[in-house]
Amino acid sequence: MVKIVTYNVNGLRPRVSQHGSLRRLLDALDADIICFQETKLSRQDLSGDVVMAEGYEAFISCNRSSKGRGAYSGVATFCRVTSAFSSQEVALPMAAEEGFTGLQDTAKNSKTIGDFVLEMPMEEEGLGEITREELFRVDNEGRSIITDHGHFVLFNIYGPAVEEDNKERVRFKLLFYKILQKRWEHLLSLGKRIFVVGDLNIAPSSIDRCDAPPGFEKQMFREWLRSMLREHGGPFFDAFRSKHPERIGAYTCFNQAIGAEEYNYGSRIDHILISGACFHRSSYLEDHSIFFCHVEDCDIMDHFRRGNSENMPKWKGGRSSRLEGSDHIPVYITLNEIPVLPVHNTPSSAARYLPEIRGRQQSIVSFLSKRKIHEHEDAMNLNMPIDGENESSCNNSVESKCTSKEELSAALNEFSKSGNFQSMMCKRRNLDQLVNEGSSSNSQNSNSTLLSPQSRKASFSCSKSLSNKKTKRNLSSQPTIKSFFQQSESKTRDCNINSLVSSVCTVHGVDELRDAKDDSLSENIQCTISAAEDQSNSSMPCLLPTDKCNAATSEWQRIHQRMKMTLPLCKGHREPCIPRSVKKGSNIGRLFYVCARAQGPASNPEANCGHFQWAAVKSKEKRQ
């Protein structure tokens, strides 16, 4: 038995992170051939953790477009095998090809699957003359991988999603499917069996869309897809709809922006299409096709839809925590009685042979990225030394004196009178000297000790003014909102130095203020007093109040409460609406109000009631 799964992952790295590793993600889908769409990987981003997993061979296509959109689209086919060489498994392809126009492989002087060649120049109805550059753009967005599994040819497709008013992208989508159709027809004329899986971004019929509007099926691309199906005279079976012709509410994609998954308000745009003869000799019978004879089941993997959907609060104009998983649901098909193949090896186009994976090629971007990482590490070493480096000394006058409580107090008094706090700044070059002196001191007098951890932290805090300057030079990171509300580190030096005479004042570093399981900073920064003769846990607050942060929080709460009081109520549920603004068009920027509930079928009274109301606009006369 052979199982094939198609899944729009909406970013492969987030899915790998969600499951812990690529291997766990693939094993969770439990299929022989797994086809991912919208991987959002570029060739520069490729690494073994997202394309290589033990027991799987990968074939990928990445976006090569130069429009500046970054990493988007992208497809990947993973084949589960017991051996990458001298294998007879159907899952391991005999050949693989990136794109479907044939131009990519022609440019590499390699053969295409089925020896497909487009004759240029060419014209197509509704498109006019098609240039070679347009055909290259079809393949350059990383939307197709073809793998030849001997008994069938598998197309992993990620179809373009376009808006009807974008004429350029509508032309691109039409060209995409017209050329794809030519490739299918060529292979079928050779007697090949074809499987097409992926996110086509087309819901063929009204039954495949929740609350489909009038005229839904008359859209150009829906008409094209239906023309490819057997019931409309085409060569393909829609495997899911052929197995479940009357099932309603079967959707594979949900809009997260409107909480569509709350009430199953989706569409079925992820498909498995299949065409070709069966493996039986009696091919003269009409019912003898690969679908009727070898497809055991095809269904939507509803249980795989979300990773943290249980106990999730209701969608009220948004959620405080984002749902794990993609906005799509995987679809699978199982085939039986598929013969084994002749002995063959992994094709040379597999991910294991890519220069980015094997390490033969290094891009300028990766080189500069590594350099930035090293600079960051150097800055961190200077500013926040590790435990082994916390033994760095203060200046020489303190090194020789700070061996007992009395001498430490005297030294601190001396420095507090002179105001020479810079001499207390830690210097890396004195590390070895302090360690050597400390070791010799311990060997001569066991009662004499080096600076305590608390005093080392105090000396570390005194050096922050110098090290922060280096940090700003080395790290060009953007400050966060949280940093705006934090107190200036210069205020940490406002702690009364006289308290150091009788005790050691320790200002905790950033890492110490973080909880072990929480990245947020603690609300109060305190100076912990550790008396030399008394190890009590008494503490006194340092001069670092959080009034500014508390005031900002209170102000936001006040604004939020005031907005709630002024928001209109929706007509269906008499609940406060949520404000939205127009993103484009003649009313761009204008405010309006809508029902806060998640979108759902019109028949469901618990779903969004459809309330819409423009916000009042003050006239210029009233404002004056």
pLDDT tens digit sequence for 200-249: 999 999 999 999 999 999 999 999 999 999 999 999 999 999 999 999 99
Residue ranges for the chain with pLDDT beneath 70: 66-70, 105-109, 281-287, 305-324, 359-479, 482-546, 560-565, 618-624
Residue with tokens 């050329």: 179
Peptide bond into 568 cis (omega under 30): no
User: Within a 13 Å sphere around the CA of 70, how many CA atoms are in the beta-carbon half?
Assistant: 3
Give the 3-state secondary structure of residue 157: strand
Give the 3-state secondary structure of residue 80: strand
User: Within a 13 Å sphere around the CA of 393, how many CA atoms are in the beta-carbon half?
Assistant: 20
The CA-based angle 431-433-436, given to 5 degrees, is 110
> Rounded distance, CA 210 to CA 207, Å?
7
Both tokens of 110, joined, read 């390699």
User: Within a 13 Å sphere around the CA of 74, how many CA atoms are in the beta-carbon half?
Assistant: 25
Phi and psi, residue 299, nearest 5°:
-155, 170
Residue 76: partners with Cβ closer than 8 Å, 6 or more residues away: 12, 35, 36, 39, 41, 51, 58, 59, 60, 61, 145, 156, 351
Contact (CB, 8 A) for 84 and 57: yes
Give the model confidence (pLDDT) of 381-432 as tens digits.
555 444 444 434 334 443 443 344 455 556 555 555 554 444 444 444 444 4
> Rounded distance, CA 135 to CA 121, Å?
11
Give the 3-state secondary structure of residue 440: helix
H helices of 142-215, where? 167-189
pTM over 0.75: no
Residues annotated as part of the active site: 328
Give the model confidence (pLDDT) of 354-389 as tens digits.
988 876 445 566 556 655 665 655 555 555 444 444
The DSSP H or E segment spanning 623 is helix 620-623
Which one-letter DSSP state was computed for residue 124?
Answer: E
The CA-based angle 87-89-92, given to 5 degrees, is 85
Q: Go through the chain and tell me how many residues it has.
A: 624
Residue with tokens 């082994």: 388
Contact (CB, 8 A) for 599 and 265: yes
Question: How high is the pLDDT of residue 409?
Answer: 54
The DSSP H or E segment spanning 153 is strand 153-158
